[in-house]
Chain A
Amino acid sequence: MDNICNDARVTPPWEGQGGGPLLRELHRMTSRRIYLVAAVVLPLFLIAFMATIFGTGQMEHIPIGVVDADNTASSRSVVRNIAAVPTFEVRHHYADDATARAAVQRKDIYGYLSIPPRFEADMLRGEGATLSYYYHYALLAVGGEVMSAFEQALIPVRMAPIVVEAVTLGSTEESIETFLLPMTSDDHALYNPSLNYSTYLTLPIFYIMFQILVLLVTLYAIGSERKEGCSHSWLASAHGNILVALTGKLLPYTLLFICEALLANVVFFYWVGIPFAGDMCLFSLLTVIFVLATQSVAVLLYTLLPALSFVISIVSMVGSLGATLSGLTFPLPAMHPIVQYAALLFPVRHFTVAMQQIVYSDAGFAACSSSLAVLCLFPLVALLLLPRLRRILHVCPHDTLE
């Protein structure tokens, strides 16, 4: 494997020229493919992945089934109503509930409507006809959509017998409907009226996956120095100043990550079409601070546990926890208090809060200032521990723990 500091064939350009750790790092970066792949190719892949994985983002044409045991004009009319709902695509008409249930089991369909025999007769006689629908809730995200679409589509059917009878007898449709539903709630889904999955998840999930990459690449860049026994050469390139050494080392990655994050913002807001209500400058500032905070956490963790093979596997697992602790899918206040406190230690949690405030509600600096302030604390804490990092690099330059 390439070992920059021990490789006699390479004349390091930083030596004797005062090129400093930045030039040294650029040379390291270009000497191994892993840096290029992890810091450039993967983020670009991630942007493409998140931009395309949800298709249109709309839960439309979800396959469902229908069991029509009545086969009358009324039941067919209900089925036609259901088939006209954009969320649904009636894939199949089943003979009985058992076959429909088996199809749900195979995941051929995500739910079905069951119309019992004598549905029309019961309805006409005013004996309380019943309609049942079943939805797949082991797959909760789709199931939730199927349920609310069924509820919405069947609202007119619920009161249909009374309305039809009243209109037949000579009453106006409006007066009977007002009697039946005197108070009507007008529901508004704010920020995402069509409940689009792409609008909901694309941006936050991108940043959750991106922070894993930022954490790991930063850790690897620092940790590989001791692993390869190059700590002294690294410190020497900065004349023993740990702050200069670390800044020079991380600056290329920081700039790369910031550029990629800003590119992602542009792609998501302007190309994918995620609605953006806020101030782009403020959001870009948040993005920059988030990258710095995440890198600081990596530095911090390496300082506390300076063994690459250990810390990288810990961080790879802790990084994935960011998905849960950001509170994006399952809201944090619903979790145990201890989990809520633990989430405060993750920059991605503060980022998600501020991001939703800016992107959704056009929050200004004042509203998200607390999240921004906490994000700024991470680099400060990392700075405080730099002397320890210097001591580690100086006193034990080799990381042999495995």
Chain B
Amino acid sequence: MIRWNRLPLSIRVAWRELQAIATSYSVLLVLVGGVFVYGLLYNYMYAPNVVREVPVAVVDHSHTALSRQYVRWLDATPDVAVAYELPDMVAAKSLMTQGEVFGILYLPRDFATLFYEGRPSVYPFYASTDAFLYYEAMERANLLVMEAMDGDYRTTLLPFLSLQGLAAVATQSPVTVVGTALYNPIEGYGVYLIPSVLMIIIFQTLMMLIAMMSGRERQQRLLAPYACLRSNHTRLALSLVWGKSLTYGMLYGVFSLFLMGALPLIFDIPHAASGLSLTVLLVPYIFSTSFLGLALSRWYTDPEAPILFIAFFSIGLIFLSGVSFPLELMPWYWCAVHYIIPAAPATLAFVKLSAMEASLRDIAPELIALCMQTVAYFLLAVAVYRRKLKCRYSSPHEKG
């Protein structure tokens, strides 16, 4: 039989914390909803991964076989669908304003005439930038069709070419340019975003969990029994911080198995990271987040208020992590913030590990930042808990 009082204080704290988590519906809701539902939902939402068949309008004033061929080929690309063929630009523009189409191809009256006269035939393509993914898809499709048409119809222009030109075409060949997308073979948006979202989910739900637990601890004076142990306040604070973090670490170890182990298999998102490197990243990440949450609990007066702040910052963290807009182009002060909040470097490191097959050496800067944060926030959390014990429970009146 376990002799409960003989166990180290931190283990007892960890057990109490686990009991408190397991018996609180709202906390369980955050964990189940935040980790499991949220994890599945985000994957489901981004599962289509690529943008296909962007609707565009065509205004064909040329009315020739050449222009019809262009429109047919544009429609045949996977990226674009010709949704409307309209008589004028006014109608096309109005459809664009209504959000029915996202691009307009205008083939002018002299489109084919100029071409068959051996003169450059230039035609405009208007693409809206409402969503950059749409813009890129339309630009890509139009470029593809332009190159294909040019290649296919070029031979009909041979009579216009001088002898010297003919000689050059016969003896020379163009340089082939090949672009390769690294680390995202299906070029999917979900493949890019989901790893970051998973890391932010860990951060957000863990911070919420700690906020709810600490808020209630303060409201219901749950630290009082520990203060009565009359031991050294610093040692007591050490045991409290370590014990609580142990529980959070164990819980999130299990959750990480779901988020980083099961989800990538179900939804086919990148999972190139080895178990060892993931563990080396997640241990400092979860502990630094846990210590940060406990350090911030100095200001948590009730279980609900801190959630306002935590939820608010979650989207900003995606930007601060540098996976969306490059860190190199951000102002220096936001780059500095990147290294202060655990979620930012950890997200970047996780993307490197899972999508880019990076080794531990490649994520060294992020790991160092996380380890430094772990130490700093641990000391801060201990100081905060020491202060809580000292200020609130050493005298009979709570100072609040």
Give Cα A307 to B26, complex, Å. Answer: 9
A272 contacts partner chain B, Cβ-Cβ < 8 Å: no
A21: shortest Cβ distance to chain B, in Å? 21
Asked whether A181 lies within 8 Å of B150 as measured between CB atoms, the reply is yes
Contact B305–A220 (Cβ < 8 Å): yes
- A–B complex contacts, Cβ < 8 Å, 16 sampled: A55-B331, A128-B176, A129-B175, A130-B175, A131-B178, A134-B179, A139-B324, A157-B175, A158-B174, A162-B169, A165-B172, A182-B150, A187-B142, A224-B304, A329-B131, A335-B46
Convert A207-232 into 0s and 1s, putting 1 for each residue whose CB lies closer than 8 angstroms to a CB of B.
01100110011001001100100000
Across the interface, do B174 and A131 meet the contact criterion of CB distance under 8 Å?
A: no
Chain B hits for A319, CB < 8 A: 311
A110 CB → nearest B CB, Å: 7
- With A133-B180, A171-B165, A310-B26 already in contact, the answer to whether A184 and B122 are too (CB < 8 A) is yes
Q: Provide the residues of chain B in CB contact with A31, threshold 8 Å.
A: none
A164-180, CB under 8 A of B: which get 1 and which 0?
Answer: 01101111100111111
Verify A52–B315 contact, CB threshold 8 A.
no
Tell me, in angstroms, the Cα distance from A49 to B325 when the chains sit together: 14
Most buried by B among A141, A195, A319: A141
B176 neighbours in A (Cβ, 8 Å): 128-131, 158
- Known A127-B173, A401-B25; contact A353-B304, beta-carbon cutoff 8 A: no
Say whether B342 faces chain A, with CB atoms less than 8 Å apart. Answer: no
| B123-A186 in contact (CB<8A) | yes
Interface residues of B in 137-192 (CB under 8 A from A): 139, 142-143, 146, 149-150, 153-154, 157, 160-162, 164-165, 167-169, 171-184, 187, 189-192
Instruction: Tell me if A150 counts as interface (CB < 8 A to partner B).
Output: yes
Residues of B within 8 A of A186 (CB): 122-125
Whether B277 sits at the interface, judged by CB under 8 Å, is: no
A303-358 contacts to B, CB under 8 A, are 307-310, 312-317, 319-321, 323-325, 327-331, 334-336, 339, 353, 356-357
Q: Given contacts A55-B331, A104-B182, A182-B150, is CB(A320)–CB(B168) below 8 Å?
A: no
Q: Given known contacts A42-B309, A175-B165, A336-B44, what 6 new A-B pairs fall within 8 Å (CB)?
A: A54-B329, A123-B175, A134-B180, A138-B191, A141-B192, A309-B26
- Which residues in B have their C-beta under 8 angstroms from that of A10? none
- The yes or no answer to A99 lying at the interface (CB within 8 A) is no
A53 within 8 A of partner (CB): yes
Q: Does B308 contact A (CB under 8 A)?
A: yes
Bound Cα distance A310, B26 (Å): 5
Q: Are B177 and A157 in contact (CB under 8 A)?
A: yes
Given A140-B192, A144-B132, A313 and B33 contact (CB-CB distance below 8 Å): yes
User: A339's contact among B45, B164, B334, by CB below 8 Å, is which?
Assistant: B45
Within the complex, what minimum Cβ distance (angstroms) separates B50 from chain A? 7
Bound-state Cα–Cα, A86 to B129, Å: 21
Q: A288: CB under 8 A from chain B?
A: no
Asked if B33 contacts A356 (CB within 8 A), the reply is: no
Closest chain A residue, CB of each to CB of B119:
A178
B residues within 8 A CB of A129? 175-176
Measured as residues with beta carbon below 8 angstroms from the partner, the interface class of chain B is 35 or more
Chain A interface size, under 10 / 10 to 19 / 20 to 34 / 35 or more: 35 or more
Shortest Cβ distance from A364 into B: residue = B97
Segment among B11-19, B235-243, B355-363 that sits at the interface with chain A: B355-363
Per a CB cutoff under 8 Å, which of A141, A151, A220 touches B324? A141
Which 7 pairs from chain A and chain B are nearest by CB? A316-B311, A166-B168, A169-B164, A137-B184, A137-B181, A138-B183, A309-B26
Are A107 and B172 in contact, with the CB atoms below 8 A? no
Say yes or no: is B40 at the interface (Cβ < 8 Å to chain A): no
Chain B residues positioned under 8 Å from A331 (CB to CB): 51, 54, 130-131, 133-134
Bound CA–CA A139/B355 (angstroms): 9
How close is B152's CB to chain A, nearest CB, in angstroms? 10
* Contact residues in A for B324 (Cβ distance below 8 Å): 139, 141
Contacts of B50 in A (CB 8 A): 334
Binds B, one of A57-65, A253-261, A386-394: A57-65
Is there an interface contact between A52 and B334, defined as CB atoms closer than 8 Å? Answer: yes
With contact pairs A55-B331, A134-B182, A138-B355 given, residues A313 and B208 touching in the complex (Cβ less than 8 Å): yes
